[in-house]
Chain A
Amino acid sequence: MPETQFQRALRDSVQEVLERMFFVEPVEEPPGEAGSPDGELAVRVAFEGRPSGTLTLRVATAAACQIAADFLGEDVSELPPARVEEVVCELANMICGSVLSRVESSTAFRLASPRLLPAEERPHCQEATDRRAVHAVAIGSGTLTASVETRDPVCPVVEESAS
């Protein structure tokens, strides 16, 4: 499938947000099956604009604890789970905003508050479609998978002609 505008924006946003604000260097890897509910956190952010849709972020708990500690400048062993969840919610918020700013640079959008997903609402396996972009990275102690799903299909990127 040709790379969509969202796929490219998602890849660049995940990279930039993790490097600039969470001080980690992610390494791209193929999207895999969801981990066990005990072993990962999942957050969803709904957005309204042109287009509208949702961003879902899944991150291994060990990786989430590490990036939360780096973000807050605190010791990982002293972080309560609620603080880790706050940071993962903020991470999802930032990736979502970054993606939308890249895709639609002139029209303002609105993000809903990030919402932690209970186990029964978590996606099991996500593949890219014409309405969904998926990007996964390894961040040291686990995998982070981000997906953006729009209500309407998104056009593939048209590469510029060399002529």
Chain B
Amino acid sequence: MNDAPREISRSVDSDDSPKHTRPSVITNRDASTSHPSDRLSKKARLRLTHALIAKSLLELLFVGALATVFYYQTFNPYFRGAVDVADARRVAGWVVDERTPAARVEVQLYINGRFVSSDVAAGARPDVRLAGRADDDWHGFSFDTPPLPHGSYEARVYAMHESGGGLRRVMQLVGQPWRFQVEVETGGQSSTPTSTPTQTPASMTISAPSSTPSLISSPTAAPAAASSPGGDAGVNASREKP
């Protein structure tokens, strides 16, 4: 292939200049043909190297800054919240966007990976305010669990975040996934729990995450109960330190 470069290097510099009048010696791969003046001086080489390093660093910083800003805008890291209860009757908890504490957060419930319902976390949760998480009481959510056949389930609640002028919507898990068991089919007549009304229905056993001492709490009552975000032993306390 040595002929090819030689042919190409016969540059037609001008329409008027005689063509191919001088054979190329510079494309000859022989090192002896390399022209000393074609080489960069040490100083020029150093300047180019410095410029390349500076350019690389600037672009690295640019991409890093862009990635960071994009992350903060797209995946809101300021969501705080927890699922306090998930069973065959309901899934409840609270969520606050700490960047804009007065805003209500849209939440979506998924059970075993399937969308169940969407709502806005605007239920009364005075405990959230008392814990210093929000300026007002209205950050709770409570979904009615749909009728479910006997089996084991996992409930996940996601906070929705919109960015890019509505072009992007991302879901962020609130708290941790909750596993619960339905031992008697819910919904219809056969779903009537066999348990006593004063305790957690015997037909439903709730498997809460470890270090979760309390299983059931009302989002509208007993704000200082175990599920309170400010409580010492609440569900939220185990996941979120107010």
| B partners with A | no
